[in-house]
Amino acid sequence: MDKVVVISFGGQYAHLIARRVREAGVYSEILPYTEATPDRLRELGPSALILSGGPASVYEENAPSIDPRILELGVPVLGICYGHQLIAKLLGGVVARGKGEYGRTLVRIVSRDPVFDGWGDEEYVWMSHADYVAEVPGAEILAVSENGYVAAYRVRGRPIYGVQFHPEVRHTPKGVVLLRNFLFKVAGARATWRVEDLAQQLVEDIRRRVGPGEKVLVAVSGGVDSTVTAVLVKRAVGDRLVAVFVNHGLLREDEAEEVLRNLRRVGIEPVYIDASERFLSKLEGVEDCEERRRIIGEEFAKVFKEVVEKDPAIRWLAQGTTYPDVIESGAAAGADRIKSHHNVAALPSWLGLKVLEPLRNLYKDEVRRLGIALGIPEEVVYRHPFPGPGLAVRVIGRFTREKLEIVRRASRIVEDVLRAHGLYRSVWQAFAVVGDDKWVGVKGDRRSVGYIVTIRIVESEDAMTADWARIPHEVIDEIARRITTEIPQVTMVTYAVTTKPPATIEPC
């Protein structure tokens, strides 16, 4: 099976690159730059290398880099953003600080090359950089941006390319075309891989790692990630699965009953623990979202510890961690922490469990495809993503139970209206957010000062980028009218129209 290795420098889209390669039918692996040695790459035997973007500057002290001998392996190389700049630097070129390019940018092809087959003379791409390549010795410039920066080059006589833009994101319309050109026309890779074929490999990996007689605690939430994880673990270890569903009081309306029902449908009988009061009492009055995430992560660990103390055979904790969780938590080498996730970076050492994360290199759409292949019902597979800390991250400012109930009820209204109009499955995520701001209103001919609720509905494929959903105005109107009518404390409803980036999907 042909293989592409993506060398990660901690960029937000490192695994998105790998996912685009997989979508093309070529198996891909992520290798942190700290592990990317010539010997390791010879061992892996890739058909091609892709160097990812990253948050650093190539001239920063201790900036991520690779051994220059990697460029001498004779393997086709594509550098993207930071990778594009790093190749230039390693070859003796010049990288400088410019005014930057962010978002939609026009580039002009100045020299034709197989990687740009299918591109017009001018195309829009997605840029996100401050540094730029000022000089690349021994390379031919293939494209320049509307601001005059080098947008793409090829090292003369060698299959080594650099592109300043991000071909892996959907905001670069012809980006997938470029990646496929690189894979098939430059590297000669073959399309022989499907995510559906991964299930048995993951089961065997779990079975290999878990020792005889050892039990695995799986934290299940009812979402597709934890459900797929639980099904994989059950297939691997059978009755040694201990599924635990913790109700932290931050679930959506009627969600606990729905989760229990859906888990039983796939043959999993969870241990149900209602820990609502212990979580909410610790969150009351906490303003900082990161602190809330820490509290929730710690409390989850305490609950699991109590379960483990009753059954010492439990030696593993399996979680439905996916790559967006990992990269946003800064758990990948070179990555910048955007927000912590309690199932990635906040598990205390005193928990004493070894961790299984079979999905940590997959994106949501891949997990869904895997779920369908495992026979999990579609209504479970296609439930909207829900954060581990639950509604706690949809309350901005001081956390109160009143605001929690407002956001719980408002989110239910959003989902109900979308379902009624047949729009629920067509969007990635839809929910309500409430903060401390208030708006003067009029209800029943009387002055009413109430909360502002913001509706967030987005379209996405993988949660790494997202766009606000252009749903019909009459649907937004119905949502707003129902919220202000059915929730007395609310006088104003707004609609969020910012993409990711620069915003994240969840408010905090």
Given the residues 23, 81, 248, 508, select the one marked as catalytic.
Answer: 81
Per the annotation, the verdict on 248 as an active-site residue is no
Residues near 250 by Cβ (< 8 Å), separated by ≥ 6?
279, 280, 296, 389, 390, 391, 392, 404
Residues near 172 by Cβ (< 8 Å), separated by ≥ 6?
124, 125, 126, 165, 166, 178
CA distance from start to end of the chain: 41
Instruction: For residues 60 and 230, give the distance between their C-alpha atoms in angstroms, rounded to a whole number.
Output: 43
Element (H, E) at 111: none
Amino acid identity, residue 472? Answer: P
Nearest Cα to Cα of residue 434 among 461, 404, 412, 460: 404
Q: Are 71 and 131 in contact (CB under 8 A)?
A: no
DSSP assigned state of 426: G
CA 212 to chain centre: 34
Given the residues 15, 84, 129, 166, select the one marked as catalytic.
Answer: 166
Amino acid identity, residue 115? Answer: V
Q: Are 223 and 386 in contact (CB under 8 A)?
A: yes
Nearest Cα to Cα of residue 232 among 301, 321, 303: 321
CA angle 85, 91, 93 (to 5 degrees): 60
Residue 174, helix vs strand vs coil: coil
Nearest Cα to Cα of residue 173 among 126, 127, 129: 126
Given the residues 23, 101, 123, 168, select the one marked as catalytic.
Answer: 168
Per the annotation, the verdict on 81 as an active-site residue is yes
Instruction: For residues 448 and 88, give the distance between their C-alpha atoms in angstroms, rounded to a whole number.
Output: 62
- Kindly list the catalytic residues: 81, 166, 168
